[in-house]
Structure 1
Amino acid sequence: MARTAPKVDRLADEGEAMTDALATVLSVAEEKGTVTWSDVSDDLTSGEWGRLIESGLLIDADGEGFVVDDPEGVREALEESDPEPAEDDDDGGWSTWDKLAGLATLGLFAGYSLTSVRDAIGGVIDIGLGPLAEILPFYVVILVLAVFTGTTSSILQDQLMDMDGMQDSQEQIKDIQNRLEDAKERGDDEAVERIEQEQMEAMTEQMGSMFAMFRPMVWIMLINIPVFLWIYWMVFGTGMTVEAPVMTFPILGEVQSWQEGVAGPMQAWIVWYFLCSISFTQIIRKALNVETSPTAS
């Protein structure tokens, strides 16, 4: 069954004692067909026995004991389970390079307020993009850059965001809530206390997963901010002039200057960049089948 491996993994996260208990129950069930508490009471605690039932891996066999649900899947999951803790858990999956990228991104933000930083970044980027701006109309250059940033953003999100892990985390929370409701309905106070503790731990892990979602954003901004600052530098910092009209916007009509406000305080160059970026990013994500949120189970 597709849900067996995540259930075994959650037991493995609780410690080696739980996987040993599951292995013991599996062995007895395969030997005798069913397993009862008296069969394993010498090897398991009552808490471990109850936890196996709550997990859904041990199910009632019509009053004749219990059987292991999907024994083959349980056996494979036990063999594949890794008892070693993940090295990056404390940092939400952030490597040293991710942290350095984050610091560099914070430094790039200074370009929005400090002219000297913006001019330095614009001058360096212009070495590569300057020839392009001489060949193509500026609105086409912005279009090309919007496609570039949309493509890199989509690829980085696809490669750095753990959608499977986020989906597993959501399913785990839902499973815990269902087991908690069942325990409350049958009045099992001991199980309620144990499941509530498990719920708190799962919520803590989910917070770590949410922190890891910012990891691709750091790399995206590391690429997008210099591009955006170069466009700003071209429009304001180099005295660039474009013969009027600059271009014709849908609904808004002809725009005489890239600095002209076309949507309240939003200037023409910003509006054109975001229109291109949003439109092409959606197309690119569809083409590359990039998911930016967990799929519904």
Structure 2
Amino acid sequence: MPAEQLESFLDNPAMREAVSVAFERSDGGNEELQWADVKDALSSGQWGRLIETGVLVSGGAGFTFANPDRVEQTLEEHGHLSNMSDDGDMIESESWAWYDKAAGVAALALFAGYWNTGIRDFIASFDNIVLAPITNALPFYAVIIILAIVTGLYSTVLQSRLMDHEKMQAYQERMNDLKERKEAAKERGDDEALERIQEEQMEAAGDQLGMFKLQFRPTVWIMLITIPVFLWLRWKVRGGHLGGDEAGMIVPLAGAVSWQDPLLGPMPTWIVWYFLCSMASRQIIQKTLNIQTSSTS
């Protein structure tokens, strides 16, 4: 069977599951198969299609894969084999280094500034040493724009560098593959296959933790700079540290609003303005620098 025809054949989740089962039970294409070897997992129609399409060819006493190497490669490309090592282990979960854990503890400590005035004032006063020259030279709305650009660049680069996109994609492909195979087994009423897939899903539960650790690692480092910036903005606005000519800004439709006035639901103007600038800057930075921040399917 040509590679293109095999690829098209395996686009069907039900047949991909059938080929996967047959390949597994033939010891990776090394042993011959008979109908009795797979009838508990495959329907007679699936078995017939494997023979009819030339995936299986007649051997001595049974059937064997016509091209086991190509079948194995195609199954790996579809995620049936690439998510497992040769001994059936799950994708190896990436553990955090000591400095990642230290960054996590530091981020939790900074979080306390949202509720503790003393911590917030200490962090904001330290930030103000660096930011005071900027606030003296520029209007407050422009300061927020600059901070949004800096934090956007920092977070975008960190997320791209610290995220293992290949491993993240492997996790997602395995979850999607299990979902497709489960739906295909339900459609053909294959209880044996359903039970086997559910066991695989339980074994793959560790993948959820692995995905969370991969996603949260760059977030921890991003928070180390975004939380102090956010605390400084809150201290500046709500602590009465703005100049008399920096009371607010003019917003389309809303008109002149102060920084503390609710602008979007209960959210005050300064928060809305910061998030809008941050989201816009991140989109521009990603497109300008062609930085990937999420895995692709």
Shorter-chain TM-score bucket reads 0.5 to 0.7
SS at match of 1:213: helix
Q: Which residue is equivalent to 1:60?
A: 55
- Give the 3 Å change call, closer, same or farther, for CA 181–216 of structure 1 in structure 2: same
Partner of 2:146: 144
Q: Deviations over 1:171-200 (max 9, x none)?
A: 2233344555667749583x6554432232
Q: 1:149, CA displacement in angstroms?
A: 0.9
SS in structure 2 opposite 1:36?
coil
From 212, 220, 228, the counterpart of 1:226? 228
| Larger helix proportion of the pair | 1
User: Is the CA contact 2:100–2:217 (under 8 Å) kept in the aligned structure 1?
Assistant: yes
Alignment of 1:228-267 (within 5 A): 228-237=230-239, 239-243=241-245, 246-255=248-257, 257-267=258-268
Q: Which residue of 2 aligns with 1:114?
A: 116
Instruction: Kindly indicate whether the alpha-carbon contact (under 8 Å) linking 2:235 and 2:241 is maintained by their aligned counterparts in 1.
Output: no
The alignment of Structure 1 onto Structure 2 pairs a total of residues equal to: 252
Distance 1:147 1:181, change over 3 A: closer
> Residue 286 and residue 82 in structure 1: after superposition, are their counterparts in 2 closer, same or farther (change >3 A)?
farther
Cα offsets for 1:38-78 (capped at 9, x unmatched)? 9xxxxxxx89xx9xxxxx9xx8333342131428959xx99
Q: C-alpha separation between the residues in 1 aligned to 2:125 and 2:246?
A: 26
The alpha-carbon deviation at position 124 of structure 1 amounts to 1.0
**Structure 1: gaps (5+ residues):** 4-17, 29-34, 39-45, 51-55
Provide the identity percentage: 44
Q: 1:68 to 1:267 in 2, by over 3 A?
A: same
Could you tell me which amino acid in structure 2 is paired with residue 153 of structure 1? Answer: S
Contact 2:124 2:228 in 1 (8 A): yes
> What is the identity, as a one-letter code, of the residue corresponding to 1:128?
V
Q: Which amino acid aligns with 2:56?
A: A
Moved over 6 A (4+): 85-88, 181-184
8 Å contact from structure 1 (residues 119, 237) kept in 2: no
Aligned to 1:198: 200
In the alignment, the residues of structure 2 paired with residue 88 and residue 290 of structure 1 have an alpha-carbon distance, to the nearest angstrom, of: 26
Q: What stretches of structure 2 of length at least 5 have no aligned partner?
A: 8-23, 42-49, 75-80
Contact residue 173 and residue 203 of structure 1 kept, 8 A:
no
SS at match of 2:250: strand
Q: Which amino acid aligns with 1:125?
A: D
